[in-house]
Amino acid sequence: MAETDKSSAASHPLIESDHIEGTVVYDADGKRVGTIKRLVIEKVGGQVAYAVTTFGGFLGLGAETHSIPWEQLNYDTALGGYKTRITEEQLRKAPEFSRGDELLLSGHERKQLGDYYVAPF
């Protein structure tokens, strides 16, 4: 049911803030590894800062919530979801503050998290 609607919404370049939950995140190999729970947006600029994402697809890793900097998510129109180069190993060692679900990150934490994920691994 609603297969056409879903595919039409998936291929549309825009998405509503209240329809974001559940958007799939894939790893570099195109394997489904998690889903987006919410986006966190800069109030002034209107730019997405990071995505609170639930990971559960990595072998040996239970369901965990991580804040993922927006720069680490690349929308793939063919997949209808976001691809990330972030690895299971990186998630395991991610800063403690980036695992929370409810708190908004400070500017300092955002910078620290951005640096963590771009650092050579």
Positions that interact with its own copies (CB under 8 A)? 9, 12-18, 20-21, 38-44, 46-49, 52, 70, 73, 75, 104-105, 107
Rounded to the nearest whole angstrom, what is the least distance from the CB of residue 110 to its own copies in the complex? 9
Rounded to the nearest whole angstrom, what is the least distance from the CB of residue 52 to its own copies in the complex? 8
How far is it, in rounded angstroms, from Cα 103 to Cα 56?
Answer: 21
How far is it, in rounded angstroms, from Cα 40 to Cα 51?
Answer: 6
How far is it, in rounded angstroms, from Cα 28 to Cα 56?
Answer: 16
C-alpha distances in angstroms, 64 versus 5, 58, 100?
30, 10, 9
Rounded to the nearest whole angstrom, what is the least distance from the CB of residue 37 to its own copies in the complex? 8
Nearer to its own copies, 76 or 115 (CB): 76
Nearer to its own copies, 21 or 89 (CB): 21
Rounded to the nearest whole angstrom, what is the least distance from the CB of residue 99 to its own copies in the complex? 16
Query: Vertex 44, ends 11 and 48: CA angle to 5°?
Result: 35
